[in-house]
Each structure stands twice: as structure tokens, then as C-alpha cells.
Amino acid sequence: MSNPISNYLGVHAAALPLREQRMQLIASNLSNADTPNFKAKDLDFQAALEQAAAKAAPLRSTSEQHMTLLNASPRIFERDGVQPSLDGNTVDADTERAAYGRAALEYRASLSFIESKVRTMLTAITGQ
């Protein structure tokens, strides 16, 4: 059964932790920019969000095998390198900084939306 608060906050309740996880992956890429043979990683955000939305939806199954996809973790994949590197590292610092900036902006947008919904709820409760 889905949570009424999650229903009220919509997709942003599921998106916020996924956005945080993606930012952590990008930060890890940046911190390992000089590590030999390190492969840049990223999160398939759209697939992870669809998976989180499917988890929240009330479903009936006729077999336990039907629910195996819903219990999987978000898909993390290795991002291809932009420039070849002699040490096998696929991290491009400029690409990672741009991705982190965009991810931070998206995180803040989801946080602002949730903050607005909570503020609306508090106004309705207190009547002020």
C-alpha cells in the first residue's frame, strides 16, 4: 500500500533520494579522476524513477516471480570516456562538473517543490 504523504508529494518524493545517489556517484567520479583504470559511473535516472514509481503503485501478483524486477536496485552503469586515456581512466573532469551542476540544480528543484507542498500543507493545518 502506498504512503499518503508520498502520494501528496508526487514523483519528487521518490526522485529526491535518487538525485542524491546520482550526485554521490558523480562526486565519486570527480574524486577518482586521477585513479588509474577507474571507470566513470552514472545512474540510469529515468529507469530508477520508473522503478520507484512502480514500487509505490499498489500491485497484485499471481506469482512471486512477478515482483523480482521491483526489488532490484537502481541501474548503475559505466559511462564511456570522452577522451582516451593512457591509464584506462574514463573520467573527464569537465563532463563530470557539468553533470554535477545539472544534478544539483535538479535536486534543488525537487527540494523546492517538496518544500512548497509542505508549506501548503502547514498552511491548511494551521489556517494561517
Residue in the block written with cell 504523504: 5
Model pLDDT, residue 79: 86
Q: In which region does residue 54 sit, left (phi positive, over 0), alpha (psi from -120 to 50) or beta (all else)?
A: alpha
Can you read off the three cell numbers belonging to residue 117? 507542498
Among 52-56, 66-70, 100-104, the minimum mean pLDDT is found in 66-70
Write out the residue range of the structural domain in which residue 120 sits. 4-126
The answer to whether the CB of 22 falls within 8 A of the CB of 44 is no
Cβ-count burial of 25 within 10 angstroms (0-12 exposed, 13-18 middle, 19+ buried)? buried
What's the pLDDT tens digit per position in 57-67? 555 556 655 54
Residues 6+ apart with CB under 8 A from 28: 41
Can you read off the three cell numbers belonging to residue 36? 588509474
Average pLDDT over residues 61-81: 65
Rg of the chain on CA atoms, in Å? 19
Compute the distance between CA of residue 21 and CA of residue 89 in angstroms, rounded to an integer: 22
Average pLDDT over residues 112-124: 90
Model pLDDT, residue 45: 85
Distances from the Cα of 4 to the Cαs of 9, 52, 119, in angstroms? 9, 15, 16
Angle between helices 11-31 and 93-126 (to 10 degrees): 150
75 pLDDT higher than 60: yes
Q: How much is the pTM?
A: 0.75
**How many separate domains does the chain show?**
1
